[in-house]
Copies of this chain bind each other. A is one copy, B any other.
Amino acid sequence: MYENIELIPGNSLITETPEQGRALAVKLARLIIKSTQPDASVREKLRGVYANDAAMLIAIGQTVAIEFATIAAANEYWKK
């Protein structure tokens, strides 16, 4: 099923700003969940679970942090 879902919007890690890079990190994390659970109704139900669970919200934060590390490095931290 992974083949049918776009995993990286725009097929690039390069963004103009840190804010856009951060938004991309969030999207990358969500697209992995989407590719693993393609059923939108199930994902919607699970969203109700993790959005109200402190431990899961923290775990989502860890995932985004790891994705962002890669994107930030790809963009040389937007310093140039």
Chain A: how many interface residues by the 8 Å CB criterion?
54
Contact A57 B35 (CB under 8 A): no
Q: Chain A: interface secondary structure?
A: helix
Closest to A50 in B: B54
Report the bound CA distance from A7 to B17 in whole Å: 11
Shortest distance from the beta carbon of A17 to any chain B beta carbon, whole Å: 5
Contact B28 A3 (CB under 8 A): no
Q: In A1-41, which residues have CB < 8 Å from any B CB?
A: 2-3, 6-8, 11-14, 17-19, 22-23, 26-29, 32-33, 35-37
| 12 CB < 8 A contacts A-B | A2-B27, A7-B19, A11-B19, A12-B78, A33-B58, A36-B60, A42-B52, A58-B59, A62-B63, A70-B77, A73-B73, A74-B77
